[in-house]
Amino acid sequence: MRHMATAAMAFTLALASLAGCSTDSRKDVRFTFSKREAISYMQDVVNDFNSSQDRYRINLDTSGVDVVSASFVRGNPPDLMLANYNFEVARFIDRCALSDLSSTDAASTADLETFGTLMAQYGECKGRISALPYSIMSSAVIYNKQIFAEQGLEVPRTWDELIAVADHLKAVGIDPFYGTFKDAWTVGQGWFDYAAGGSIDVVQFFDQVRDAADKVGPGSPASFQKDFAQPMNKMAHLLSYTNRDAASRAYADGNLAIAQGKAAMYLQGPWAFSEIAKSAPDLELGTFPLPMTNDPNDLAVRVNIDLAAMIPVDAREPEGARTFLEYLYRPEVIHAYNASQLGFTPLIGASAPDDPRVAGMIPYYSEGKIYQGPSVLIPKSIPVFNYAQAMVTGGGIEHNLSIIDTDWSRLAYRQPKED
């Protein structure tokens, strides 16, 4: 009986093994996704794809960019990446470690005329389309529509109009701006980027400082000390219109304060809307570009490539990766994702988001009046967020801009020289 029981158990295990093999013979595709706020949404997209076909099984990997970078070193990169487009992932492009996507349907529908130039600011592998834009985040000044309406204020379109609005609000006891300077990134992505992006030609500036390489400084055609001095001094002027405790307030404090109507304007991106809505779901908010000159034609909004799609050269399942890539770029899929995140869809002829909170940015975005935030175009080894934070907390503008010049030159000097 003991032998019979053993044989029966072995037979049962064999059947189970065979059943497991027969039920799912799909090829596994490793898909990394870096936007933590949208993980649950993207998991639903993956589930929908997996249930729609029987050739590939997409496995969502959210382990983060550090793990992904290490996987390239080990020769085991993901099959498909949908990641924030920054200097970290651009390293793979410069080294031609990513596949050419030019033959995909996704590439033919992506708005590369608009965003290809912005993506090339990070780096490129000549002759290849190594990455495709998937989600564009546009950001500008968030303002409380009710406060503006009660005070009879119009959205400012020039620097003088902005100062007049701020003076009026301050006179009636309302903080014009809410500052969250305790968190350095909020200064860098907001105050620093808006002030510079609204004042200079960002693409031209970074082309010039890259050409100057290790000679960036007061004597070079472009430098942070020269070109950023006026924007940063104007930024410093706006500090007198912030809450008195701005230096000790963090991002979460700012979201709550705006929800409670404690200030009229907030220099943050659309990611703040969902946080504000937790405390004030019915609060009417709008957006407008920060005017830094007295010419309305200079108005522009900050954008960043929030997500870009990439397939490594060494992907183990490149065909499965391309199949899922094409699925992700189906209009109904990519539009729905961006609508859920208040992002702009980077497809040719794509409609803008219909959320009224971002409506103020749409005319500028549609006309191509956009710029990438200077803070994201500076290599991470230069702690620009900390320098920006120092500038708004009394560390000195000229001093910190000269440090950025020095850091840039030192970093360029250490880079390998081309033959």
DSSP 8-state secondary structure symbol assigned to residue 312: B
CA atoms of 126 and 108, how far apart (whole Å): 18
Closest to 403 in 3D by CA, of 225, 207, 200:
225
Look up tokens 């000195």; give the residue: 396
| Position 67 pLDDT exceeds 80 | no
Does the pLDDT of residue 355 top 50, yes or no? yes
Q: Where are the alpha helices (DSSP H) in 137-250?
A: 145-150, 159-171, 184-186, 193-197, 202-212, 224-227, 229-238
Closest Cα to residue 338, out of 321, 350, 322?
Answer: 350
Give the pTM: 0.85
Q: What confidence category does residue 397 fall into, taking pLDDT thresholds of 50, 70 and 90?
A: very high
Q: Are 69 and 88 in contact (CB under 8 A)?
A: yes
Higher per-residue confidence, 381 vs 237: 237
CA dihedral 30, 34, 40, 41 (to 10 degrees): -90
The pLDDT confidence band at residue 245, using thresholds 50, 70 and 90, is very high
pLDDT grade, residue 71 (50/70/90)?
confident
Question: Considering only CA atoms, which of 116, 13, 31, 142 is closest in space to residue 81?
Answer: 31
What is 27-137+304-359's CATH topology?
A: D-Maltodextrin-Binding Protein; domain 2 (3.40.190)
Mean pLDDT, range 34-55, rounded to an integer: 94
Residue 9 CB-half CA count within 13 A: 6
For residue 249, pLDDT beyond 80: yes
**Residue 267 in contact with residue 193, Cβ under 8 Å?**
no
Do the Cβ atoms of 93 and 125 come closer than 8 Å?
yes
Q: State mean pLDDT over 241-253.
A: 97
CATH architecture of 139-303+373-414: 3-Layer(aba) Sandwich (3.40)
The reply to whether domains 27-137+304-359 and 139-303+373-414 share a CATH topology is yes
State pLDDT tens for residues 297-349. 999 999 999 999 999 999 999 999 999 999 999 999 999 999 999 999 999 99
Q: Report the distance separating Cα 249 and Cα 246, nearest Å.
A: 5
What mean pLDDT is predicted for residues 72-82?
86
Extents of the domains making up the chain? 27-137+304-359, 139-303+373-414
Mean residue pLDDT of the chain comes to: 91
Alpha-carbon distance 338 to 326, whole Å?
16
Q: Strand pairing of 175-177 and 370-372?
A: unpaired
Measured CA to CA, the distance from residue 269 to residue 260 in angstroms comes to 18
Identify which of 129, 163, 187 has the alpha carbon closest to the alpha carbon of residue 325.
129
